Amino acid sequence: MVSVGAVHSVVYVLLLSVTLVLGGDIVHHDDVAPIRPGCDNNFVLVKVPTWIDGVEKNEYAGVGARFGPTLESKEKRANLTRVVMADPPDCCTKPKNKLTSEIILVHRGKCSFTTKANIADEAGASAILIINYRTELFKMVCEENETDVDIGIPAVMLPQDAGLTLERHIKNNSNVSIQLYSPLRPLVDVAEVFLWLMAVGTILCASYWSAWSAREAAIEQEKLLKDASDDYTNTENVGSSGYVEISTIAAILFVVIASCFLVMLYKLMSFWFVEVLVVLFCIGGVEGLQTCLVALLSCFRWFRQPAQTFVKIPFFGAVSYLTLAVTPFCIVFAVVWAVCRRASWAWIGQDILGITLIITVLQIVRIPNLKVGTVLLSCAFLYDIFWVFVSKWWFHESVMIVVARGDKSGEDGIPMLLKIPRLFDPWGGYSIIGFGDIILPGLIVAFSLRYDWLAKKNLRAGYFLWAMTAYGLGLLITYVALNLMDGHGQPALLYIVPFTLGTFLSLGKKRGELKILWTRGEPERPCCHIQEDNQSINSHH
C-alpha cells in the first residue's frame, strides 16, 4: 500500500512543480529598441570591483549599454579609476564639478541614457555609471529618434543597492575607485551537461523501476491464477493499489490548480513563505529518499529479510524493519540540508532529495493511456508558455521566473529545483531545472516502457527508446535556446512536449497502434485473460 506520506508527496510535487530552465540570468531583456549604427553593441555583464580608501571591498555586477565603446574582457587590463558623484545627480545638464578622466556616478531618470552619456563624455569623464531605480538590471538602449549616438565613453548600469552604496561612501568623503571589465562567458557550461544527464538519468531510473513493478505485479497475479488460489477474488486490484492513476479530468485540473499555486507563490513570496516550502520539501524528500534507499538495499541478499519482515506502527500500519532502519538517516539528511542550505555545497543535498523524490513520484503516479498523457502534456505546454511569457502582460514580469529565482524572499530560489553551480562561468550562479520538466514528460516516458514490457516488445520495436531519445533531444534544444537567449529563463516544456509527445503519437500512428495506445493503454495482463476465460466457462455451466 502507498503510505500517506507518499501520496502527500505526489500531490505536493505536482502542484508546486516549476517548469523552467534557468542559466543564472540577471538582466532584463529589451526586444523592442532597434539596432542601428552607433547603437549596436551586444549586451554584456560587467564586473565592478570596488576599493574604498585603497582597501578592496565588494564586487558588483552591472550591464553594458547598447552604445559606447566596448569594455576590456581581462581584469589585468582594466584601469583602477576614481569615482565621483554627478552634480546634478541625474546628469541631464552639464556637471558643475570639473572632471579629469574620473568615472561619473549618476541616477537614472529625467533624460535618456544617451543624453547622460554625451554630457558626461563632454565633461571629461572616462565612463558613466547609471544607478537603476530597482535592485535589478535594465538594458540601456538608444531612443528611436536620437541621432547623437557617437559616444566615446562606456556606459554601465548598476542595480540600485550597489549604486547607493557607492554614493554613500562618496558622500562620506571616502576615496572610491573601481575597475570595469566584462569577462567572456563560455558558450556552454559543463553544469548544463551534468544537469541534462541528471534529468535524463532520473527518468531512465524511474521508468525502469515503474516497468519492473508493473511486470512483477502481472507475474504475481498470473501465479495466483495458475495456483487456483481461493483468494483470487480479492486480488483484482493487486498491483494497482500501489500507485495513483491520473484521469483526464485530473490532467485538466492540474493546470488550473498549479496556476493558482503559482500565483500564490508569486504573491506571498517572502522569507517565511520560502521557509514553509523548505519544510514541505524536506518532508517529501525524506519520503523519496527512504523509498529509494529501501528499494535499492532490498536488491542485496543481506537486506532482503529485514525488507520482508514487518511490524505494525500506529498511524502508519505495517512497516518493514529496513524502512525503520533507514528513516532516521533520511530525516537527519534532510534536516542537515535545511539548516545548511545556504552553504556552497548544499546544492548536492538538494539534488539528492529532489531526484529521489522525483523517482518516487514517477513510481507512484501513472498515466493509464496515451489520451491522458496527451491531455496532461498539452495542458502543461500551455501552462508553461503562459506563466513564462504571457504573464508579463498582466504582472509586468514573468511570474514563473520570479518564483523560480525566489525574488523578494532573501533566498537563492525555491527548493523545488535541481541545480548545479556554473563551474567555468566567471559570473558564477547556478543552472537549474524545475521538477515539472522531469516529472511531467517522465510520466509518458515511463508509460512507454511499461507498455513495451507488458506487450513483450523489444527495444527496437517498442516506444521507450524513441520516447527517451525525444526527451533528451527536447531538453538539449532547451539548453541551446537558453544560451541563445543569454541565459534568460526558458519554458522547457515548450521544447520537450513537441519532441516527446509528437514522437510518441507519430510512431503509434505509423505502426497502427495509436488507437490501442490512446484508449486501452497498457496491454491486458495475462491474468486478466485467464480470469475472463474462467468467467466464460462458468457462464456456460
- Alpha helices per DSSP H over 309-458: 321-339, 346-364, 370-385, 391-395, 399-405, 436-454
Point out the least confidently predicted range of 98-102, 147-151, 207-211, 410-414. Answer: 410-414
Cα–Cα nearest to 499, from 539, 421, 445: 445
pLDDT of residue 412: 64
Cα–Cα nearest to 494, from 508, 511, 510, 477: 477
pLDDT of residue 485: 72
Three-class SS of 136-161: CEECCCCCCCCCCCCCCCCEEEECHH
What is the identity of the amino acid at 225? L
The residue with cell 541478499 is 301
Tell me whether strands 127-131 and 417-421 are parallel, antiparallel or unpaired: unpaired
pLDDT of residue 540: 44
Q: Say yes or no to pLDDT of 233 above 60.
A: no
The DSSP symbol for 289 reads: H
Identify whether the C-beta of residue 21 lies closer than 8 Å to the C-beta of residue 490.
yes
Torsion from C-alpha of 271, 274, 275, 279, nearest 10 degrees: 180
Q: Say yes or no to pLDDT of 338 above 60.
A: yes
The residue extents of the domains of the chain are 43-176, 188-225+241-268+360-523
- Residue 424: pLDDT band (50, 70, 90) is confident
- What pTM does this model have? 0.79
The residue with cell 544617451 is 114
- Residue 347: pLDDT band (50, 70, 90) is very high
Identify whether the C-beta of residue 198 lies closer than 8 Å to the C-beta of residue 206.
no
494/233: higher pLDDT:
494
Residues forming beta bridges with residue 83, ordered by sequence position: 103
Point out the least confidently predicted range of 98-112, 204-218, 377-391, 521-535. Answer: 521-535
pLDDT per residue as tens digits for the range 503-520: 999 999 999 999 999 988
pLDDT of residue 33: 60
- Residue 234: pLDDT band (50, 70, 90) is very low
The DSSP symbol for 177 reads: E
Query: How many whole angstroms separate alpha carbon 1 and alpha carbon 13?
Result: 20
CA-based torsion, 225, 229, 234, 237: positive or negative? negative
Query: How many whole angstroms separate alpha carbon 465 and alpha carbon 520?
Result: 21
- Residue 410: pLDDT band (50, 70, 90) is low
521/56: higher pLDDT:
56
Burial class (CB in 10 A: 0-12, 13-18, 19+), 366: buried
What is the rounded average pLDDT of the residues 51-79? 91
pLDDT per residue as tens digits for the range 190-203: 898 999 999 999 99
CA-based torsion, 132, 135, 138, 144: positive or negative? negative
- Residue 238: pLDDT band (50, 70, 90) is very low
- Lookup: cell for 526: 495475462
Q: Please give the span between the terminal C-alpha atoms of the chain, in angstroms, as a whole number.
A: 37
Cα–Cα nearest to 152, from 178, 180, 130, 126: 126
Domain 43-176 adopts which CATH fold?
Glucose Oxidase; domain 1 (3.50.30)
pLDDT per residue as tens digits for the range 128-171: 999 998 887 888 888 877 777 889 999 999 999 999 999 999 99
Identify whether the C-beta of residue 65 lies closer than 8 Å to the C-beta of residue 153.
no
Residue partners of 197: CB distance under 8 A and separation at least 6: none
pLDDT per residue as tens digits for the range 84-143: 999 999 999 999 888 889 999 999 988 989 999 999 999 999 999 999 988 878 888 888
Q: Say yes or no to pLDDT of 15 above 60.
A: no
Q: Annotated active-site positions, please?
A: 384, 437
pLDDT of residue 254: 83
Residue partners of 254: CB distance under 8 A and separation at least 6: 14, 376, 379, 380
Q: Say yes or no to pLDDT of 7 above 50.
A: no
Q: Say yes or no to pLDDT of 224 above 50.
A: yes
- Per-residue burial over 109-138, b if 16 or more Cβ lie within 10 Å, else e, is eeeebbbbbbbbbebebbbbbbbbeeeebb
Q: Say yes or no to pLDDT of 274 above 90.
A: no
pLDDT of residue 18: 61
Number of H helices, E strands in the chain: 17, 16
pLDDT of residue 22: 61
Q: Say yes or no to pLDDT of 41 above 60.
A: yes
What is the rounded average pLDDT of the residues 390-403? 84
Query: How many whole angstroms separate alpha carbon 19 and alpha carbon 433?
Result: 7
- 3-state DSSP assignment of residue 343: coil
Question: Which of the listed ranges 23-27, 234-238, 274-278, 282-286 does the model predict with the highest average pLDDT?
Answer: 282-286
pLDDT of residue 200: 97
Cα–Cα nearest to 364, from 531, 243, 454: 243
Identify whether the C-beta of residue 399 lies closer than 8 Å to the C-beta of residue 263.
yes
What is the identity of the amino acid at 74? K
Query: How many whole angstroms separate alpha carbon 19 and alpha carbon 385?
Result: 10
Question: Which of the listed ranges 39-53, 133-147, 401-415, 425-439 does the model predict with the highest average pLDDT?
Answer: 39-53
**How high does pLDDT run on average in the chain?**
84
Query: How many whole angstroms separate alpha carbon 195 and alpha carbon 405?
Result: 17
266/412: higher pLDDT:
266
193/240: higher pLDDT:
193
Query: How many whole angstroms separate alpha carbon 103 and alpha carbon 52?
Result: 15
Nearest-5° angle of CA 154, CA 155, CA 159? Answer: 145
Give, in order, the Cα–Cα distances in Å from 109 to each of 133, 171, 326.
9, 20, 60
Cα–Cα nearest to 489, from 400, 418, 360: 400
